[in-house]
Structure 1
Amino acid sequence: MGRRVTQRDIARMTGVSQATVSVVLNETGTVRIAPETRQRVLDAIRATGYVADVVGRRLADRSNRILGVFTYEPVFPSATADFYHPFLVGIEQRAEQLGCDLLLFTSGPHRMRLADGCIVLGRSIGRDELARLVAEHHPFVSVGRRDSPDVPYVGADYGAATAALVASAVGLGHRRLAYVGTGGPAESHLDRLRGFADACLAAGVFATHEPRRDDTLTDAVRRVLAAGVTGIFLEEPADAAELIAALAGHGRDVPGDVSVVVLGEPTRAGATPPPFDVTRFRTPRREMGWQAVDRLTEIVGGGSGSDTASRQTLLACELVPGETLKSASASKEST
């Protein structure tokens, strides 16, 4: 097959459900399987060389192999380009490998106990809600870093990725930089702004934060240009095309006059793509979903992953050079 054989593959080959394959593999006596059906499954297992995943088997000893996914905001993808799609792909792929079923919750967290454990997904999750989940001792893992020592999560190291891009800009001669975006309250935005501010401070360069109140990007651009900024770090990549157009409206070329860096991927489906390959970083979204499933199965299984310190993981983001971060000339720095 060119990939690892899963329980779903065995089920398709033998014409039974994945649950039936699981029962045969785990030799449980609680469910009766017809002898000919059991033999058909065993023959397929031998023929394909299927090997059960150790973590999945440990989960099976303690649970019903049902993992929940609870979303605190609308995340079900409307297109493959949707921001949340890779997270869900990673979750689904790893759950399939482990022989687990997924249960999507949309009506409220009070129903999470229908699953053995739950993956929570969303940019903004209230601290009170997270504290309640911890207090109830129901196994869960957050996709995304959370500001709580008790919350297990798999997140992206946005701060380090942003700092690395600041270092690239400084290395190209930029000495006046701006961060355009909210900078919070979501941890993913806080991390980006913190990485930007710390890197600028360490490099000894001018930094300003333009939070974009209720006005347009054109107004934000006017303010940062008045401050002599030659490099703009944009929090929401979906606004990249609008930002570049706003700079053009002020007579500034990208990247000839002003460099632009975007911090991740667009979070709004259908965003207008910019006219350039923008310098950015790539969030390891599929890997985050995948590892969240692994972390959850460890917690459910009571393994080493039940220790809080080992359950909080940040994955590195991949830097994408792009075409919009270029050298800053002396004349631009003096504007």
Structure 2
Amino acid sequence: MSTRKPSKRVTMMDVAKAAGCSQATVSVVLNGVSDVKISPELRTRVIKAARGLGYGVGSVIRHAALDELKGDCIGFIVDQLATTPEAVNAIEGARHESWENDITILVAQTQAREEHEVRAVERLLRAGAQGIVYMSIFTRRVSLARVFEDLPIPLVLLNCYTRENRYPSVVPDEVIGGRTATRSLIKLGHRRIATITGELFMEAAQDRLIGYREALAEAGITYEDSLVVEGNWSPTSGFEAAQRLLSLEERPTAIFCQNDKMAMGCFIALAEAGLVIPRDMSVVGYDDDELARHLRPQLTTLELPHRPMGAWAVQQLGKHSATIGSRHTPYKMVCSVVERSSLTGPTTGKLNGASSSSD
């Protein structure tokens, strides 16, 4: 079995293919389901395939020594579970980092309400949790409730941080992400690149825009306000923003949508205008949402590293690195490009607002 590092995110389907079984079987084995009868040979084959492919382990993450937590449980507190897949992905990464060490993860959703957080912490401590991961659904600086400051166990922050950097924390490197997405278009020869941002009060949108501007500057491309349109992360806002960009006298040849849902709306607007992706307009997204695989053409996007972030957080608990009194600079994890079919170089006839769809 090869132990090379994966060049792209390994999925449960990849493990199933390597092990010669169904995805459901892989899920049963890796989740430690005991009431389903699976032969020892098949169970071993699935585990070897998962290890060999590096399933659940980001390229910058390797398994840490978690012996001190073996047989114990840890708590995972998150403000929202159902609105986006990020929390589930982070929990999945944490679970994959801990399943070989017989560590149970107890999850609590609090809706960011202090009374719910206090109750969750009390119950996790009663359950014997040996550490807690605290996650925000969107990247931000948080002010923790007093109950977290008085914890007798380690605390690690995921997708958030505090002003004092009192605890280990991990966040996506959104500036590099925005720069990488924009560079992917510049490398193909695009010079007139638009971006549809998320709500600019959010750090992720601010940082992705900074990365966009940095990429333009390093390529000697002048920044233009007219090529930046604010959305609100929804498909509808992506649709409306794309319509505004298409109405420009000199429209862009490429659009960087700062999440995949807005990219979906952008796709619809381009189709309604009679434009073909990527021939008439290149589009790059962000998040690697499941829908990116189902758009036609499939959407090139950036992957938010919540699975490896979850694994990193568990590692820090295992190292007991949440030391009170020391400063912990937030660890920034790279968002990698997932190449698909929505990008190509600019073609003649697009720069002055004339569609090439009648060629």
TM over 0.5: yes
Secondary structure at the counterpart of residue 280 of structure 2: coil
| 2-structure distance, mates of 1:130, 1:313 | 19
TM superposition shift of 1:147: 6.5
CA positional deviation for 1:162: 2.5
- How far apart, CA to CA, are the structure 1 residues paired with 2:147 and 2:228? 34
C-alpha contact (below 8 Å) 1:232/1:259 kept by paired residues: yes
Corresponding residue for 2:342? Answer: 324
Partner of 2:22: none
How many Å separate the matches in 1 of 2:238 and 2:340? 22
Per the TM alignment, residue 306 of structure 1 is displaced from its structure 2 partner at its CA by 8.4
Query: Does structure 1 residue 116 correspond to structure 2 residue 130?
Result: yes
Q: 2:143 aligns with which of 120, 129, 151?
A: 129
| Equivalent residue in structure 2 for 1:240, among 254, 263, 277 | 263
1:282 and 2:303 are equivalent in the alignment = yes
Measured on the aligned residues, the alpha-carbon RMSD in Å equals: 3.7
Q: What is the TM-score normalised by the length of structure 2? A: 0.65
Are positions 1:313 and 2:331 aligned together?
Answer: yes
Within the candidate set 68, 79, 86, 1:72 is matched to 79
Partner SS state of residue 298, structure 2: coil
Provide the rounded CA distance (Å) in 1 between the counterparts of 2:278 and 2:204. Answer: 27
The CA distance in 2 between the partners of 1:187 and 1:299, in whole Å, is 29
TM-superposed CA distance for 1:69, in Å, is 0.4
1:257 aligns with 2:309: no
- Tell me which of 94, 98, 123 is aligned to 2:97: 94
Q: Structure 1 281/74 Cα, relative in aligned 2: closer, same or farther at 3 Å?
A: same
Contact map agreement 1:119 1:142 (CA 8 A) in 2: yes
1:168 aligns with 2:163: no
1:295 maps to 2:313: no
Name the structure 2 match of 1:47. none
- Deviation at 1:132? 4.7
1:112-165 deviation line (CA, Å, top 9, x unaligned): 251332112232377453375664456322222547351422222232132122
Could you list the runs of 5+ residues in structure 2 that have no partner in the other structure? 4-29, 35-62, 111-115, 354-359
Q: Does structure 2 conserve the Cα–Cα contact (< 8 Å) formed by 1:238 and 1:265?
A: no
Give the aligned partner of residue 104 of structure 1.
107
Alignment correspondent of 2:229? 210
| Counterpart residue identity of residue 241, structure 2 | A
In structure 2, C-alpha distance between the alignment counterparts of 1:316 and 1:244, rounded to whole Å: 26
Post-superposition Cα deviations, 1:83-105, rounded to whole Å, max 9, x if no partner, equal 44332222112223333222222
Shift of 1:255: 0.9
- Looking at structure 2, the residues matched to 9 and 128 of structure 1 have their Cα atoms a distance apart, in angstroms, of 32
Q: Tell me: CA distance 1:193–1:54, structure 2 relative to 1, closer, same or farther (3 Å).
A: closer
8 Å Cα contact 2:309-2:333 kept in structure 1? yes
Residues 239-260 of structure 1: per-residue CA shift (max 9 Å, x gap): 4333212111122221111110
Q: Distance in 2 between matches of 1:220 and 1:56?
A: 47
2: CA distance between counterparts of 1:57 and 1:327?
51
Pick closer, same or farther for the CA change 1:125–1:117 going to 2, 3 Å: farther
**1:191 alignment counterpart:** 207
Tell me the distance in 1 between the aligned counterparts of 2:303 and 2:139: 23
Aligned residue for 1:21? none
Q: Distance in 2 between matches of 1:188 and 1:299?
A: 29
Check conservation: 2:190, 2:346, Cα contact below 8 A: yes
Find the aligned partners of 2:309 and 2:321 in 1 and give their Cα distance: 18
Matched letter for residue 121 of structure 2:
M
- Any stretches of 5+ residues in structure 1 without a counterpart? 13-52
Cα contact 1:233–1:262 (8 A) shared by 2: yes
Instruction: Report percent identity of matched pairs.
Output: 22
* 3-state SS, counterpart of residue 144 of structure 1: strand
Q: In 2, Cα distance between the equivalents of 1:83 and 1:9?
A: 19
| Distance of 1:270 and 1:175 partners within structure 2 | 28
- Matched residues in 2 for 1:238 and 1:145: separation? 23
Query: In the alignment, is residue 57 of structure 1 matched against residue 52 of structure 2?
Result: no
Size of the aligned set, in residue pairs, is: 279
Counterparts in 2 of 1:296 and 1:194: CA distance versus 1, 3 Å: farther
Contact 1:192–1:263 (CA under 8 A) maintained in structure 2: no
Q: 1:177 maps to what in 2?
A: 193
One-letter identity of the residue aligned with 2:117: P
